[in-house]
Amino acid sequence: MALPRSQARGWVKAAKMAQRRRPADDTGGPQSPAPGSQRAALYVHWPYCEKRCSYCNFNKYIPRGVDEAALRRCLVIEAQTLLRLSGVQRVESVFFGGGTPSLASPHTVAAVLEAVAQAAHLPADSEVTLEANPTSASGSRLAAFGAAGVNRLSIGLQSLDDTELQLLGRTHSARDALQTLAEAQRLFPGRVSVDLMLGLPAQQVGPWLRQLQGLLRCCDDHVSLYQLSLERGTTLFTQVQQGALPAPDPELAAEMYQEGRAVLREAGFRQYEVSNFARNGALSTHNWTYWQCGQYLGVGPGAHGRFIPQGAGGHTREARIQTLEPDSWMKEVMLFGHGTRRRVPLSELELLEEVLAMGLRTDVGITHQHWQQFEPQLTLWDLFGANKEVKELQEQGLLLLDHRGLRCSWEGLAVLDSLLLSLLSRLQEAWQQRTPSSVPRG
Ligand SMILES: C[S@@+](CC[C@H](N)C(=O)[O-])C[C@H]1O[C@@H](n2cnc3c(N)ncnc32)[C@H](O)[C@@H]1O
Ligand code: SF4
């Protein structure tokens, strides 16, 4: 029986949501923590923002007053607990995301890093990224974050057009954003990323491309392009629903994306993932771990993690989700040492679906060696070598299956969602055809 399309779509969405770095070379990726190894990446969620942006439905809160000392204590305790539960001994990267982590005090960032370094090995050259909003990232604050251990910045520029920034409910102007970008590059040369959105209501291809070209004249070596996803419950969604704003046009958004990636390629950027572009090897090590299905620990309200807990048979990887609301999360951390709200053991098939959906987001795709780490018996050739739909996708020049493994072509990467539906269906079909005795354990 094939995978129901609705379930396959769930995976496509999950893989997209995971958008969110030591380079190897300009064709491969960084080494990611292997499945079940004692290495992991660590994500820390700062749950507060100054103001709600009109499009954002991330787990964030507008505080009346933050007891930062208490929050810091809880982040430290939870990081220590999850490192102990996972048996992780080496942390390859740390990512402070949010919310707006550039609103945190650099002291909080330093305290979390110190706790991680005490509980595990945190190599001196580990990538430590902070998401920064222009309004809370003055030069002196960025320098203080650098002194606290941050060595990479991801700046939420979103647009270089003040009218669009107002529509998005951002607290900064294009000028603020460019000033922050210049200061960031002075302090973290070669390690500054910018997020640019596309597909906004009423946005046109030409002006947006001129924004991108303007950005390329002053940006560093990493750019993320995010297509607006109109999320229920946001102000923007209501404005569109009530007719106050035109609905984003998916065809225009697709055109912006196609033209944008061509402009970035022309400027020497490698599209190493569906939304991410880097030159001079400036890939995100941390995000690479997600796409390669390495282990990661998620610390803070609403953070997600994937790791094999020690002592519970030691084989099954779990998806962990921390309690969303900061005050409830803090109470749980003080009581239990962590605020894990849900632990979901991943079946072997679910893990393979993740390997497929996440790996194909990258230009490297899934190498045979990588696949074998997760599934030693059923090879990529066994699965897809004789499949009619896969053959058709290869003939259309969208997919490649060869001695290296399975990956999208340049054209295929732009339409990954439609390819994934067929591939995930084929994986589930093959899985169900196996006799129970041939299903590997571990
Ligand atoms: C959740 S924010 C956190 C970092 C920071 N607070 C900021 O605003 O830049 C991370 C990125 O997610 C993207 N994002 C958030 N909501 C989105 C949406 N509805 N559609 C597309 N991208 C979105 C934005 O581009 C943003 O840069
Ligand atoms: S986009 Fe960033 S700043 Fe805006 S509400 Fe979301 S997390 Fe906060």
Residue with CA nearest ligand 1 atom 13: 226
- For the stretch 177-215, pLDDT in tens is 999 999 999 999 999 999 999 999 999 999 999 999 999
pLDDT at site 23: 34
Does 253 map to a domain? yes
How many angstroms is it from 153 CA to the middle of ligand 1?
A: 14
Nearest ligand to residue 96 Cα: 1
pLDDT of the residue at 314 = 61
Q: Give the domain extent around 65.
A: 33-289
Handedness of CA 161, 166, 170, 172 (dihedral sign): positive
Residue 11: the pLDDT is 42
pLDDT digits over 1-53, tens only? 333 333 344 444 444 444 433 333 456 777 665 556 799 999 999 999 999 99
CA angle 6, 11, 16 (to 5 degrees): 125
What is the predicted pLDDT for the residue at 165? 98
**Alpha-carbon distance values, 98 to 14, 61, 102, 161, 401 (Å):** 18, 10, 9, 23, 37
**From ligand 1's centre to the CA of 187, what distance in Å?**
23
Residue 56 in contact with ligand 2 by CB distance below 6 A:
yes
Mean pLDDT of the chain: 91
Mean predicted confidence (pLDDT) in 58-85: 96
Lowest mean pLDDT across 22-36, 332-346, 362-376, 403-417: 22-36
Q: Do 272 and 421 belong together in one domain? A: no
Distance of CA 345 to the CA centre of its chain: 21
The pTM score is 0.92
151, part of any domain: yes
If you measure from the C-alpha of residue 346 to the centroid of ligand 1, how many angstroms do you get, rounded to a whole number? 28
Binned at pLDDT 50, 70 and 90, residue 372 comes out as very high
* 279/370 same-domain check: no
Distance 228 CA to ligand 1 centre (A): 9
pLDDT average, residue stretch 216-224: 98
Q: Tell me, yes or no, whether 370 and 281 share the same domain.
A: no
Protein residue whose Cα sits closest to atom 9 of ligand 1: 156
- What the block records as the tokens of 400 is 């490649």
CATH of the domain at 236: 3.80.30.20
Is residue 396 situated within a structural domain?
yes
Query: Would you say residue 350 lies in a domain?
Result: no
CA 188 to chain CA mean position, Å: 21
Q: Do strands 270-273 and 296-299 pair parallel, antiparallel, or not at all (unpaired)?
A: unpaired
Q: State the pLDDT at residue 41.
A: 98
**Interface pTM (ipTM) of the complex?**
0.98
- Structural domain count of the chain: 2
Residues 269 and 169 in one domain: yes
Where is the domain boundary, 230, 256, 289?
Answer: 289
Domain membership of residue 328 (yes or no) is no
CA of 157 to the centre of ligand 1 (A): 10
Looking at 237, 256, 289, the residue that finishes a domain is 289
Domain boundary among 289, 311, 326: 289
Cβ of residue 53 lying under 6 Å from some atom of ligand 2: yes
99 lines ligand 2 (CB under 6 A): yes
Atom of ligand 2 nearest to the CA of 98: 7
Q: Which residues have CB under 6 Å of ligand 1?
A: 20, 55-56, 58, 98, 100, 131, 133, 156, 158, 195, 197, 226, 228-229, 231
The pLDDT of residue 14 is: 44
Q: In a mutational test of the pocket of ligand 2, which residue from 17, 20, 45, 52 has the highest number of ligand atoms less than 8 Å from its CB?
A: 52
Is position 337 within any domain?
no
Query: What confidence tier does 132 reach under pLDDT thresholds 50, 70, 90?
Result: very high
- Residue owning the nearest CA to atom 21 of ligand 1: 228
Q: Which listed ligand is nearest to 197 at the C-alpha?
A: 1
Name the least confident of 23-37, 75-89, 110-124, 306-320: 23-37
Task: Say if residue 280 is in the same domain as residue 391.
Answer: no
**Residues paired with residue 128 on neighbouring β-strands, in sequence order:** 94
The predicted model gives 142-168 an average pLDDT of 98
Find out whether the beta carbon of 133 lies less than 6 Å from any atom of ligand 2. Answer: yes
**Residue 168 Cα to ligand 2 middle (Å):** 10
SS (H, E, C) the chain: CCCCHHHHHHHHHHHHHCCCCCCCCCCCCCCCCCCCCCEEEEEEEECECCCCCCCCCCCCECCCCCCHHHHHHHHHHHHHHHHHHHCCCEEEEEEEEECCHHHCCHHHHHHHHHHHHHHCECCCCCEEEEEECHHHCCHHHHHHHHHHCCCEEEEEEECCCHHHHHHCCCCCCHHHHHHHHHHHHHHCCCCEEEEEEECCCCCCHHHHHHHHHHHHCCCCCEEEEEECCCCCCCHHHHHHHCCCCCCCCHHHHHHHHHHHHHHHHHCCCEEEECCEEECCCCCCHHHHHHHCCCCEEEECCCCEEEECCCCCCCCCCEEEEECCCHHHHHHHHHHHCCCEEEEEECCHHHHHHHHHHHHCCECCCEEHHHHHHHCCCCCHHHHHCCCHHHHHHHHCCCEEECCCEEEECHHHHCCHHHHHHHHHHHHHHHHHHCCHHHCCCC
Residue 422 placed within a domain: yes
Give CA 394 to chain center in angstroms: 28
Please report which ligand is nearest the Cα atom of 97. Answer: 1
Domain shared by 284 and 370, yes or no: no
Task: Let me know if residue 243 belongs to a domain.
Answer: yes
Cα(303)–Cα(315) distance, integer angstroms:
22
Do 273 and 382 share a structural domain? no
